């Protein structure tokens, strides 16, 4: 998509609350000592909401390092947000300063996880709205990285 390529595996874990997230993180950290021999890790926690998981959903994980918030907000990003909703996207986590790093590099100052009903909806929104905005005004006010992720049904 745009920005640096993602690691070879990206996992989004939705927990019902911070306590459940902390419990899950404790399990992961026990595994990291052994797992770090085989993979690199970047773990980021974000504030989320109660949007229901949709089977077959597709996710866009977006890291935006906003350099000039006033310019960024005036750059036409409001039209990108409106078209996201029209194309079936819902922000399920993130916002300004809503993410904190757990392992690896610190997250950007704006971090979003967007759920789309399917990959086609994500691709349509990205190619018709996000990419043109980024190639025009967006890059003047921010650094940007977007990664598309296939959803899997919760177990």
Q: Is residue 123 part of a domain?
A: yes
| Residues 35-56: tens digit of each pLDDT | 555 555 444 444 444 555 566 7
Q: Is residue 40 part of a domain?
A: yes
Q: Which residue has the higher pLDDT, 52 or 113?
A: 113
Q: Is residue 111 part of a domain?
A: yes
Q: Is residue 10 part of a domain?
A: no
pTM to 2 decimals?
0.68
State residue 122's pLDDT score. Answer: 93
User: With contact defined as beta carbons under 8 Å apart, do 98 and 111 qualify?
Assistant: yes
Q: Is residue 5 part of a domain?
A: no
Q: Which residues pair with 144 in a beta bridge?
A: 64
Task: Provide the greatest CA pair distance for the chain.
Answer: 47
Structural domain count of the chain: 1
State residue 73's pLDDT score. Answer: 94
Q: Is residue 120 part of a domain?
A: yes
58 HSE (CA, 13 A, CB side): 17
Instruction: Give me the CATH number covering residue 26.
Output: 3.30.70.100
Q: Is residue 155 part of a domain?
A: no
Q: Is residue 128 part of a domain?
A: yes
Instruction: Please provide the average confidence, as pLDDT, over all residues in the chain.
Output: 77
Residues 6+ apart with CB under 8 A from 68: 140, 141, 142
């Amino acid at each position: 998509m745009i920005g640096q390529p993602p690691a070879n595996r990206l996992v989004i874990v939705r927990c019902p609350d911070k306590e459940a997230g902390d419990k899950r993180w404790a399990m992961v950290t026990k595994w990291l000592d052994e797992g770090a021999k085989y993979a690199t890790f970047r773990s980021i926690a974000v504030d989320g909401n109660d949007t229901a998981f949709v089977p077959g959903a597709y996710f866009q994980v977006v890291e935006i390092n906003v350099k000039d918030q006033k310019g960024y907000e005036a750059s036409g990003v409001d039209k990108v947000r409106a078209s996201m909703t029209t194309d079936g996207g819902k922000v399920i986590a993130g916002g300004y300063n809503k993410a904190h790093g757990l392992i690896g590099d610190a997250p950007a100052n704006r971090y979003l996880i967007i759920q789309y009903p399917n990959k086609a909806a994500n691709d349509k929104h990205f190619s018709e709205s996000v990419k043109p905005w980024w190639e025009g005004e967006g890059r003047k006010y921010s650094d940007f990285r977007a990664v598309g992720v296939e959803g899997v049904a919760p177990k």
